Amino acid sequence: MESYSSAGNEIINEDVEQSVPRKRKRKAPVWDNFEVTLISGEDKAICKHCSKILSAKALHGTNSLNTHVKSCKGLQSQSTRSEGSQRTVRMGQFDKTHETNAKTELANMIIMHEYPLSMVEHLGFKRYSKALQPSFKIPCRNTIKKEIMKICEFEKEKTMKLIQMNTSRIAITTDMWTASNQKKGFMAITSHFIDDS
């Protein structure tokens, strides 16, 4: 816009902003449940779950929208369906392979931390396992003992193959001790050798 100075008839340029009403961004999370549409010249909020039409005027705030979301039948039935399907998927995914893997990992945990075999019969462990996966049949101590022996045989075969492939000599040492607090005897066998690398 141009204007004239009374002092010297100079032309002064002034940048004047046009007052155009700007729409405020709708940041509240409740807006995720609504589609905003212009109906008869007014902003309206249409529920994505039940298609109910509410006012979307900025001066009204979001109270009416929040109230609707809390009682929306479409949204409630949708969340119930999704929870049910998630539960079905979770239960359906636990097949024989998963059960075998879970049993092996349980045996590995007992070996790694030197837990007693009776741990699988502890009530707290059973409740915890059922909470994680209700379909998992917790093995008894005899079953878990067999699983541990299978792991032991596998590791033994792996070690024997490693030794057979080795061309150098092997030095074997043993160490024995008694744990005073447990009154148990232990023996460790250590082998030293030079491999290909």
Q: Tell me the per-residue pLDDT of 91-136, one tens digit each, with 9 for 90 and over.
A: 456 778 888 899 999 999 999 998 999 999 999 999 999 888 888 8
pLDDT of 80: 60
Indicate if the alpha-carbon torsion angle 55, 59, 64, 69 is positive or negative: positive
Residue 120: CB atoms within 10 Å: 21
User: What is the Cα–Cα distance from 101 to 163, expressed in whole angstroms?
Assistant: 28
User: What is the Cα–Cα distance from 57 to 146, expressed in whole angstroms?
Assistant: 70
Q: What is the pTM of this model?
A: 0.47
Q: Are 183 and 197 in contact (CB under 8 A)?
A: no
pLDDT of 163: 84
The domain locations on the chain are 26-93, 96-168
